Amino acid sequence: MPAPGVVLILTVVAIVLVLVFFLVSTIVALRQITKGLDEAIASVVEIIEKTAPVEEVVGTINQYLDAGVDLLEGLLVKKAGMRDAVGLVDGLYPGAAEAGFRNFPESTEITAPRISEVYTKGTLTLARLGREAPIAAASPIGGAVLRNVTGGSLAARSLYPEVRQTRPERLDRSPVTGTDSPVQYEPSDSPGVRRRLPGGTAVLDDPAPARWASSVARRRRPRRTTHRALRPPRRRARRCPP
């Protein structure tokens, strides 16, 4: 065989070997791809199966939630009125007044009263529920107040002592206290007993507190600076022998 023929045969054989190598490698790679795609397809099938009932369930949930929104919106508008309802919703969710109520398109045209900036939610609730709270007099809703605010306030004074109840102008003025106060009081040794009044007058007219104070001093109890320790002692009724 001539030399060129041998070279040709060897070249063809080499080409065939190269083709075999690359094609087999490609086949292996394609098999891996097929295996991976099978796994992916299996997972996608699972996803499809799992999400199949979601539409129905979510549809039912949305249906009930829509019914709840319709119920609450209708109840709020019915009980509070359109204007206050918009104000309340806008107070809870600022900016919600622009969107308005879903079932009341006219609610978008209402200027929401600034309810939440003036009153707290609890006060608003009291003001809405029957208007029995004093704050209902200034309620933005402008409804009639069922409770006499002034009379109610005076009635509460009966809970205090008589002077405060009927003649509050006769009550002593509250003393000015502090290091820069115009009248400086010296600290007392015993509760209820002053060393000396600022004017240099007598300490106490009633000897009973003094006796009480001396008895307290004799007991040598640890002094407590609570309001109870500064309270005048109660007089106990003693039966003196005839």
Partner 1 sequence: MTVWWILDIVLLVVVVPVVIYLLAGVLSEARGIVPSVRRIGAAAAAGSADLDAVPLLLTTQDQVIRTIETAANYGGSLDVILDDAREE
- Minimum CB separation of residue 206 from partner 1 in Å reads 58
144 versus 202: smaller Cβ distance to partner 1: 144
Which 100-159 residues touch partner 1, going by CB under 8 A?
129, 143
Q: Is 8 in the site for partner 1 (CB under 8 A)?
A: yes
88 versus 216: smaller Cβ distance to partner 1: 88
Find the binder of partner 1 among 13, 44, 92, 163 (CB under 8 A). Answer: 44
- Minimum CB separation of residue 105 from partner 1 in Å reads 19
Q: Is 93 in the site for partner 1 (CB under 8 A)?
A: no
* Termini Cα distance of the chain: 165
- Alpha-carbon span 5 to 37, nearest angstrom: 47
- Minimum CB separation of residue 13 from partner 1 in Å reads 11
The 10 Å Cβ neighbour count of residue 139 is 20
- Minimum CB separation of residue 88 from partner 1 in Å reads 12
Q: Is 195 in the site for partner 1 (CB under 8 A)?
A: no
The DSSP secondary structure of 19-38, one letter per residue, reads HHHHHHHHHHHHHHHHHHHH
DSSP, res 120: -
- Closest by CA position to 114, among listed 144, 91, 97: 91
129 versus 183: smaller Cβ distance to partner 1: 129
Q: Is 61 in the site for partner 1 (CB under 8 A)?
A: yes
Cβ-contact 183, 176 below 8 angstroms: yes
Q: Is 13 in the site for partner 1 (CB under 8 A)?
A: no
- Alpha-carbon span 108 to 101, nearest angstrom: 7
| Distant-in-sequence, close-in-space partners of 140: CB < 8 Å, separation ≥ 6 | 84, 87, 113, 115, 118
| Distant-in-sequence, close-in-space partners of 182: CB < 8 Å, separation ≥ 6 | 176
Q: Which residues bind partner 1 (CB under 8 A)?
A: 2, 4-5, 7-8, 11-12, 14-15, 18-19, 22-23, 25-26, 29-30, 32-33, 36-37, 39-44, 46-47, 50-51, 53-54, 57-58, 60-61, 64-65, 67-68, 71-72, 75, 77-84, 129, 143
